[in-house]
Amino acid sequence: MTRFVGILSGKGGVAKTTTTVNLGAALNFFGRDVTVIDGNLSTPNLGLHLGVPVVPISLHDALKGKHSIVESMYKHGSGLKVIPASLSLLDLKDVAPSKLSKILPSLDGLTDVVLIDGAPGLGSEAMAVVKAVDEVIVVTNPEMPAVTDALKISKLAEEMGKTVRGIVLTKTGGDYDLSMGDVEKMIERPVLAVIPYDKAIRESLIKKDPVIYTNPKSKSSIGYKKLAASLIGVEFDESVEGKFSSFLRRVGLKG
């Protein structure tokens, strides 16, 4: 049975899309068939992160009934299946975010995990994603405005009957960060992963590939792999994985 998980945030700029891409890639790394969807219909970025900014058939087309959601799926070189939203302003006309919950069940059984990158904030697009999924993961930075907004999206998801798995704390490492304990107390949910600010993320964006492949030993890469492992109940040994990656590179199977 397919798991449908919404990746949400109370505000923009907290690395929500980066988390969707790299959590998906990490789950795929552990052998799961993963589909990532750009549920941010107004300002989509998922396709830009993975090098598919413009596609013949997008999520917008599926929402309008022009094509099935399966027809809007593309295979990325990393192994991820990707359903991008359209960048065109024209495609925003007559698109109804609420229809997401009607077309999403077509993916049930076709993939192990569906991760939906929701729009930031508490608007109709974000709420459509919450309505369409079973589980929610909230992404935030360790600063008061972001955490306050993360609390709102967490509470709203809970009120809608969704399982809020917890918090992914990103861009950490600043001198004035809120502590993990403070964040957990404020949002009343566990911190599932701490992802430090990492220049390797910027490099991965330029290469249009998940950081777990562009820089597998980086702190952010290890953080996302640990997050994925915890969500599917498998063990992740950082030292063993590092040796395995080195072996693959030596035999020419990994860049």
Mean pLDDT of 98-113: 97
- Whole-number Å distance between alpha carbons of 113 and 132: 14
Q: Per the domain annotation, does 246 fall within a domain? A: no
Mean pLDDT of 71-94: 93
At CA 201, angle to CA 238 and CA 217, rounded to 5?
Answer: 20
Q: What are phi and psi for residue 135, nearest 5 degrees?
A: -130, 155
Q: How high is the pLDDT of residue 208?
A: 93
Q: How high is the pLDDT of residue 249?
A: 43
Instruction: Give the domain extent around 141.
Output: 3-241
Q: Per the domain annotation, does 102 fall within a domain? A: yes
Q: Per the domain annotation, does 252 fall within a domain? A: no
Mean per-residue pLDDT over the chain, rounded: 92
Query: Domain count of the chain?
Result: 1
CA–chain centroid gap for 162, Å, is 17
Q: Per the domain annotation, does 228 fall within a domain? A: yes
**Lowest-confidence pick of 59-63, 190-194, 250-254:** 250-254
Question: What predicted TM-score, i.e. pTM, was given to this entire model?
Answer: 0.92
Q: Quick one: tokens of 133?
A: 């999924």
Q: How high is the pLDDT of residue 235?
A: 85
Q: How high is the pLDDT of residue 5?
A: 98
Q: Per-residue pLDDT tens for 185-222? A: 999 999 999 999 999 999 999 999 999 999 999 999 99
CATH number at residue 83: 3.40.50.300
- The model's confidence at residue 168, banded by pLDDT at 50, 70 and 90, is very high
In terms of DSSP H, where are the helices of 166-215? 180-187, 199-207, 211-214
- The model's confidence at residue 56, banded by pLDDT at 50, 70 and 90, is very high
Mean pLDDT of 108-129: 97
CB 208 within 8 A of CB 51: yes
Of all residues in the chain, what percent carry a pLDDT higher than 90?
86
Of all residues in the chain, what percent carry a pLDDT higher than 70?
93
Q: Per the domain annotation, does 11 fall within a domain? A: yes
CB 27 within 8 A of CB 34: yes
Q: How high is the pLDDT of residue 246?
A: 42
- Whole-number Å distance between alpha carbons of 6 and 17: 11
Q: Is the pLDDT of residue 243 over 70?
A: no
Q: Per the domain annotation, does 162 fall within a domain? A: yes
Q: Is the pLDDT of residue 184 over 90?
A: yes
Q: Per the domain annotation, does 251 fall within a domain? A: no
Q: Is the pLDDT of residue 8 over 80?
A: yes
